[in-house]
Structure 1
Amino acid sequence: MTELEALQPAEAVEMYLTDKDTEYTEATLDSHRRRIKWFRRWFDTETEYDYLRELSGLDLHQFRVWRQGDLAPVTLKTQMDTVRVFLYWCRNIDAVSQDLPEKCESPRVSGDQNQRSDMLPVDRVEHIIDYLSRFHHASVQHVLWVLLWRTGIRVGAARAIDIEDYYPDEQYVQINHRPDEDTPLKNQYRGERPVSLRPDTCEVLDDYIRHNRHEVRDEYDRRPLFTSRQGRRAISNLREIMYRWSRPCRVGRDCPHGRDPDTCDANKSTNVASQCPSSKACHAMRRSSITHHLRQDVPVPVLSDRMNVSADVLDDHYDQRTEREKMEVRREYLDWD
């Protein structure tokens, strides 16, 4: 089997447009650029992937669902057709799996699913973190949930953190882009930044480092924050932790789907936790965290810098507040007394 190239969407799109420059008219190129732009935006905001090679048929289905709420069926078909052409080109340069383009189907519009509304309610997050604090205090799963919820960082950024990037006295972590050492950031060097931590978050981190972290180094002789006995935890393992602990039955609650946990297919092993209808992916946690901070009146520029997302993308894809909630926040800033 051919080893797939580590190619990010932005680079692939530019290569594709350059390659098609002599084949397509300028108007056609502009149309392709505009349509694929939405695929890039979805990749950047709705997934935790770094490279195109990580995409699956399920991901392409989720992209289609993500777009269908905004477009007429004929427009959506045109957009999916263009993305398929782009993926065929990516296949030819070994950037995606051989069968991926065929899985990019033009849609039959049905249902009302929309990935952008995929969130974890605040009370569920707080219950999960409280459960982990009581029964799995300072474990890997406890630290991951606390860190992602309170900072809103991407799971790839969390995985990239080394012990040396954590400053307990100053109460912050430094996020660094190290692509040559298997810890790239979504936005590359533009994603590098210090992220402040709450005192109680530092307490959990300190307990984890002191008692539960495996004192190992990765293949680059770095000391990861999130470790297994073998080294730095894989991104897939961290994603599984989010799926696993977002299942209601895992944290002491009844199954909202009427299933018996002892016989439920989504409870047979950790790698099938995502099959639970109530389980949530990492991007749902990120969206929930951002929206929660907005509801707490944190200014958009502060969130934009802290969570490494532009104000426009934040407003379009992460802000799940109602118009009434936005009005009440604005009211707080208006002095009518």
Structure 2
Amino acid sequence: MTNLNNLTGRDLHRYRLWRREEGDIAPVTEKTQMDTLRVFIRWCESIDAVPTDLFTKVISPSLDSGENVRDVKVDSEAAEKILEHLNTYEYASARHVCFRLMWRAALRRGAVVALDVSDYDSDDQSLEVHHRAESGTPIKNKNRGERYIGLTDETCSVLDAWLADRRPDVTDDTGREPLLATPQGRVHPTTVQTYLYSATKPCYHTGECPHDREIEECTPASDRTQASKCPSSLSPHALRRGAITHWLASDLPEPVVSDRANVSPDVLKKHYDRRGEHKKMEQRRDYLDNI
């Protein structure tokens, strides 16, 4: 079909069935794609490219409770192997600093980008997260997202080495000194994504490919900017989800996790807590044994 004026609800329904059958997609993916299609068709209507009210013919599936929750996360074993690899081969590099802060502090991508050199206190072993929308670095939850985060000796050692030897001596467009910087200035959010996708692809820290590809001939393996195309690479949000799950599984109290990660208890339970029900039972048993 080359003329959208001839598009019908029947065509849209056939497309939905084709995506479901040929794409082997989950219900949440189907819903996302059909919702996006509905928005596009509605825009087409605004320029008279399709029949009026055609967008109402785009059927999007309803999801049962919990179906819109993703389980993708970086597990603690993989995260520790990645950190070990970074510690050995890329110590105090930008990628090392970024991964360590996002795993150990469960920082969002925006918070990592927003940090300034002055937000880090080596003596106090802490970070201050600030919402500075007026100078180009807003954070999620705005002022409610501002907080202090305590750091370990090892994390501080990495940050100290980064600041002493590796960080480019640059400022951003507003004259601030970004903690995570490139020679061009403050690190860009897409660069943070690239750091995480490239570090989480299995061949990076294991030297093996779970997809039976020849690593030397695989573009995502050899080109860091293409790492997101590796089926096993994971996003910054998957790293954050994995970190929070790891804390909860390590018996860190939920209020402590909620405050450190700046996420409400309800959202914590719905979107981040990936402990199985049996694991939760065992943890409750540990608390109740002496009662």
For structure 2, the 5+ residue unaligned runs are 1-24, 47-54
Question: 1:335 deviation in Å?
Answer: 4.2
Q: Given the alignment of the two structures, is residue 178 of structure 1 paired with residue 132 of structure 2, yes or no?
A: yes
Give the whole-Å Cα distance in 1 for the aligned partners of 2:185 and 2:138. Answer: 17
Question: 1:272 deviation in Å?
Answer: 1.2
Q: Given the alignment of the two structures, is residue 213 of structure 1 paired with residue 167 of structure 2, yes or no?
A: yes
Question: 1:83 deviation in Å?
Answer: 9.4
2:28 equivalent among 67, 79, 85? 67
CA deviations 1:3-59 (Å, max 9, x no partner) are xxxxxxxxxxxxxxxxxxxxxxxxxxxxxxxxxxxxxxxxxxxxxxxxxxxxxxxxx
CA deviations 1:111-135 (Å, max 9, x no partner) are xx97611011211111111001011
CA deviations 1:139-187 (Å, max 9, x no partner) are 1111111111111110110111000000111111000001121211011
Larger radius of gyration: 2
Give 1:328's aligned residue. 282
Given the superposition, is the C-alpha separation of residues 80 and 188 from structure 1 closer, same or farther in structure 2, using an over 3 Å criterion?
farther
CA deviations 1:246-267 (Å, max 9, x no partner) are 1111224210110011211323
Given the superposition, is the C-alpha separation of residues 137 and 268 from structure 1 closer, same or farther in structure 2, using an over 3 Å criterion?
closer
Question: 1:240 deviation in Å?
Answer: 0.3
Question: 1:190 deviation in Å?
Answer: 0.9
Given the superposition, is the C-alpha separation of residues 316 and 162 from structure 1 closer, same or farther in structure 2, using an over 3 Å criterion?
same
Aligned-pair identity in percent equals 41
CA RMSD of aligned residues (A): 2.8
Given the superposition, is the C-alpha separation of residues 66 and 336 from structure 1 closer, same or farther in structure 2, using an over 3 Å criterion?
farther
Matches within 5 A, 1:77-156: 81=35, 84=38, 106=59, 116-156=70-110
Secondary structure, counterpart of 1:116 in structure 2: coil
Q: Given the alignment of the two structures, is residue 188 of structure 1 paired with residue 149 of structure 2, yes or no?
A: no
Question: 1:81 deviation in Å?
Answer: 5.0
Secondary structure, counterpart of 1:259 in structure 2: coil
1:160 equivalent among 114, 120, 124? 114
Give the whole-Å Cα distance in 1 for the aligned partners of 2:102 and 2:155. Answer: 11
Secondary structure, counterpart of 2:217 in structure 1: coil
Give the whole-Å Cα distance in 1 for the aligned partners of 2:221 and 2:170. Answer: 31
Give 2:11's aligned residue. none
Give 1:233's aligned residue. 187
Question: 1:269 deviation in Å?
Answer: 2.0
Give the whole-Å Cα distance in 1 for the aligned partners of 2:61 and 2:215. Answer: 34
Give 1:299's aligned residue. 253
2:208 equivalent among 237, 242, 254? 254
Give 2:198's aligned residue. 244
1:318 equivalent among 264, 272, 276? 272
TM-score (normalised: structure 1): 0.68
Tell me which amino acid in the other structure corresponds to 1:67.
V
Question: 1:296 deviation in Å?
Answer: 0.7
Give the whole-Å Cα distance in 2 for the aligned partners of 1:66 and 1:117. Answer: 14
Give the whole-Å Cα distance in 1 for the aligned partners of 2:257 and 2:177. Answer: 29
Give the whole-Å Cα distance in 2 for the aligned partners of 1:222 and 1:160. Answer: 10
For structure 1, the 5+ residue unaligned runs are 1-63, 93-101
Given the superposition, is the C-alpha separation of residues 270 and 108 from structure 1 closer, same or farther in structure 2, using an over 3 Å criterion?
farther
